[in-house]
Structure 1
């Protein structure tokens, strides 16, 4: 939830700052990152808190004369979009919490904007014309009360809050409308956290009470393990992860993505499957059963603790093996040994897999690759890289696993072009 600090950009010498300038703008299309694009006297302006087609008065928050682009907030709407709604959260305004991007947008149109971003990224980066619809994750409650893990920042007085957009400033809050009821019931907003930098609150299936993990001086307390459930039809799997480890924060996401990945892979008994960036085994656990006694699943994950948890989660499956290593390095070794795979599933971090991983995956000649991505730009780049190795994207779908924010989860299927 907490935003990153302001990232410096190259400056044009001692050019005058534009911060605080107010301009009347005609707002253009949505862009990747939760803002829309406008222009002022030829200069590109990335504007938050607005919608395509609106006319707004915008205040510059970052930028100087001569910069390639500047950032701004819409502080007054002069001509509103028909898709604009009253924000449910009082903190989702300029100068306040930066966690949400689209609180001012009707839910169906939020998904249309995300679909437009996915299409634009694929057209620009992968040179593909894709037709995609962003679907709600089952269990959605009008885009609210879905986030089961929230990292709260702590201000100098010891009060937990959330950060302003692209700032270290902590905004004091009384509620976070996208956090689950369990996160708020933990009492995190009513506790004095003096001496703590931030605190993670985890509202998992197990234990019944939310887990609070304070972080001070860059060191996190031991939050222990939490348990999650995922289902694929009549099958139910329970797996444990570290409280601060990676897992899907929307309650319906793990089951949704597991079901879709399994359906797209079309696993056959005896298949050899690679699960890359396997985490603690969300996909590995199910795949280990589907390949049957003659098959094999290799989970590769760079986080040692996640691998340990994955080994425990799959302890009853003799078909599953784990490797704790960077994915690119492990794949290079496997390719050098002449290892091949029938199927590959990968769920990389936001930066994507990258060309080295794509090259190695293609060298292993799988009949199908299923790629789960939380950033459409990184996915489009990797799909383009796969194309250079003879793999085409045969299917693309998108899911709104992060309502009210600009984030969108995509699942792509790649197969040999011939």
Structure 2
């Protein structure tokens, strides 16, 4: 840290940046500042001046407020608290909900322009739910302090903050979250509310209770199984209670519909070698099956063996569906190296659904996918910068972005989900 670290400065906030922070300048220096809104003047404290290209700061108070500022939907994260005592996980909670979506749109559009040279008029669509963006989380992880107190981490730290409520959680989760209990020796607690069956309170790999009734305390009793059911439309998906599933109550259905619409039916061959990469428990493979019928051939690839087992079961009605446990990078590399000419033809006629982690697919995976020359790639992204980088990589291999939608799957946070369609330029 240099001489500016810890000093307070009054700065004008001019823009939004990726990661839930805003952009300001002080004496020509770019400053990324938390808990501020473009258009505001704030008093901020410099927290990191170690880099030449930018500094970081945290808002202490608001001098001139934006018209889009509101009281934080989570008092535990409000501006009246010291920055180190503000709960993390709702970094946009002080912004009017509709303007949150506008800021997310700006980040997505700017990322695509800067990294891929693509201009877009994409909007960020709201999901069903409360206008203030509360009451949507069906899964919450609470970390446990040394004295056993559970709570979220403070923003941008690993310090546990005690809280009285969880406003982003669905009511069923908020009712059973053990915020007042103590869990000495436990690392974290997961509270899970599946769409079918009982909610769960899970502690660091041990399942403590199936707390269906409101207010029921964790007892230490281990339920018979950790498998849960999630319903999307008329279809049920089996998965582990700790396994990955979209956290917004309406996210799985939203993405199912979005992927079904993103696939160009004129380029889709159900009998080709279609792939669902980073496939989880088979949600998006099933979305294609429901759209294109029982003749669908698709292979879903996932590194988590338990998720792959569930995917095989969830996709069992499609005779042409297979679930493979493998790292996607290794799978596509081996596929490119060993495929026969007939297999390459089926792959070239196939479509690929790509739903990577927040870090994106990356250069190696994009290169191997592009070498297979699929008829189209439907890319589901939870990070706009990673998406823009990968779209640019695909562009270098002759693929063009033909369709893009974005969804506010994470209200009151900076996260945004996007679904993009890319096709070979020669058939565009």
State the TM-score, normalized to the length of structure 2: 0.88
1:271 CA drift (Å) = 4.2
* Unpaired stretches in structure 2, ≥5 consecutive residues: 208-224
Matching residue of 1:314: 315
Tell me if 1:190 matches 2:175.
no
Deviations, residues 334-356 of structure 1 (Å, cap 9, x unaligned): 22214314211110000111122
Map 1:338-377 to 2 at 5 A. 338=340, 339=343, 340=347, 341-377=349-385
268-277 or 93-102: bigger deviation: 268-277
- 2: CA distance, partners of 1:344 / 1:119: 24
Task: Could you tell me which runs of 5 or more consecutive residues in structure 1 were left unpaired when the two chains were aligned.
Answer: 1-10
Q: Distance in 2 between matches of 1:363 and 1:53?
A: 46
Residue 294 of structure 1: how far off its partner (Å): 4.1
Matched residue, 1:214? 203
> Can you list the C-alpha shifts for 1:211-267, whole angstroms capped at 9, x where unaligned?
11111xxxx225712211112xxxx21101122211110011100110110122135
Which stretch shifts more, 281-290 or 40-49?
A: 281-290
Alignment-derived partner of residue 227 in structure 2: 225
Is 2:33 the partner of 1:53? no
Quickly say closer, same or farther: Cα 1:124–1:274, change in 2 above 3 A: same
Q: Could you tell me which residue of structure 2 aligns to residue 258 of structure 1?
A: 256
Distance across 2 between alignment mates of 1:289 and 1:102: 36
Aligned equivalents of 1:61 and 1:115: distance in 2? 28
1:1-59 deviation line (CA, Å, top 9, x unaligned): xxxxxxxxxx6xxx43x333110101110000111111122222111111111111111
Equivalent-residue separation in structure 2 for 1:295 and 1:342 (angstroms): 11
Whether the 8 Å CA contact 2:262–2:403 is kept in 1: the answer is no
Q: 2:63 aligns with which of 78, 87, 92?
A: 78
Deviations 1:114-152 (A, max 9, x none): 000001111111111111111101335520011111100
Aligned to 1:4: none
Query: What residue in structure 2 maps to residue 146 of structure 1?
Result: 136
Residues 295-334 of structure 1 correspond to what in structure 2 (within 5 A)? Answer: 295-334=296-335
Pick one of 386, 406, 422 that aligns with 1:378: 386
CA distance in 1, matches of 2:20, 2:411: 12
Residues 272-330 of structure 1, C-alpha deviation per residue, up to 9 Å, x if partnerless? 32101000010122334544454411101111111011112122321201111011111
8 Å Cα contact 2:351-2:374 kept in structure 1: yes
Count of residues in Structure 1 that have an aligned counterpart in Structure 2: 394
Deviation of residue 204 (structure 1)? 0.9
**2:29 pairs with 1:43:** yes
Range with greater deviation from structure 2 (163-172 or 23-32):
163-172
**Structure-2 change in CA distance of 1:295 and 1:148 (3 Å):** closer
Shift of 1:69: 2.3
Give 2:420's aligned residue. 412
Contact 1:49 1:101 in 2 (8 A): yes
Q: How far apart are the structure 1 equivalents of 2:124 and 2:257?
A: 17
How far apart, in 1, do the equivalents of 2:295 and 2:96 lie? 50
Please tell me whether the aligned partners of residues 270 and 297 of structure 2 are also in contact (alpha carbons under 8 angstroms): no
Moved more, 281-290 or 381-390: 281-290
Tell me if structure 2 keeps the 8 A contact 1:148–1:202.
yes
Q: Structure 2 residue aligned with 1:158, among 148, 160, 166?
A: 148
Query: Structure 1 or 2: larger helix share?
Result: 2
1:102, CA displacement in angstroms? 1.1
Alignment partners' CA distance in 1, 2:186 and 2:36? 35
Aligned partner of 2:396 among 388, 391, 397: 388
Which residue is 2:114 aligned to? Answer: 124
Distance (whole Å) between structure 2 residues aligned to residue 174 and residue 148 of structure 1: 18
- Cα distance, 1:27–1:272 mapped onto 2, change above 3 Å: same
Q: Distance in 2 between matches of 1:290 and 1:82?
A: 44
Q: Work out the CA distance in 2 between the residues paired with 1:91 and 1:258.
A: 34
Match of 1:174 among 164, 167, 172: 164
After superposition, what is the alpha-carbon deviation per residue over 1:80-112, rounded to whole angstroms, capped at 9, x for unaligned? 111111222111232211211111111110000
The corresponding residue for 1:402 is 410
Q: What is the distance in 2 between the residues matched to 1:192 and 1:57? A: 37
| Cα shift at 1:392 | 0.2
- For 1:237, which of 222, 235, 240 is the aligned residue? 235
In structure 2, relative to structure 1, the CA distance for the partners of 1:411 and 1:100 (3 Å cut) is same
**Residues 170 and 295 of structure 1: CA distance in aligned 2, closer, same or farther (over 3 Å):** closer
SS at match of 1:189: coil
